[in-house]
Amino acid sequence: MHRVEIRPLFADVDAMNVVYYGQYLRFFELGRAELMRASGRAYREMAEQGLHLPVTEAQVRYRRPIFYDDLIVIETGLAWLKRASLRFEYRLLRAADGGQEEEMASGHTVHGCVNLQGKVAPLPAWVAQCLTPHLEPPQAPTGV
C-alpha cells in the first residue's frame, strides 16, 4: 500500500474539532492522487488525454473520530483493475501511544474511465502499467 501523511486543517473540522464525515472522501482522493504520482504518472496526464475517472461507488467505514491537526496516514492500494474501471482501497490511520497505528476509517472507491463526452473508454495502457504493482491481495473484512 502507498502511504502519505496529512494533518487535517481547521477547514476540515466541525465545531467539536472532529473531521467532518465528507472530508474522508477528500482524504481518499488525496491518497489516490499521490499513489498515481508515486507510480510515475499523474492523474493530470489522463485529463490532458481527454479521459477522466469519475467515482461510480464510494464506501466509508468510520471507526473513530479524527481531530484537527492529528497526524494521519492515508494508505491506498488497488483492489482490481479492469478494461475501463478500477477499485481503490483506503485506510486512514493515526499514530497511537507506543508507536502503534490505530485504524480510524477504511473504505473504497470504484471509478469508471470516460472520455470528454461521458462515454465509457478503455483505460490507457500506461495506467495499468503504473498501477498493477499496487494491486493488493483480497483481505477479509475486519471489525464487527
- Active-site positions? 14
Residue pair 113/53 in contact by the 8 Å Cβ criterion = yes
Distance, in Å, from the CA atom of 109 to the CA atom of 98, rounded to the nearest integer, reads: 32
Distance, in Å, from the CA atom of 136 to the CA atom of 49, rounded to the nearest integer, reads: 27
Residue with grid cell 508507536, as numbered in its chain: 99
Contacts of 25 (CB under 8 A, 6+ apart): 58, 60, 109
Residue pair 72/92 in contact by the 8 Å Cβ criterion = yes
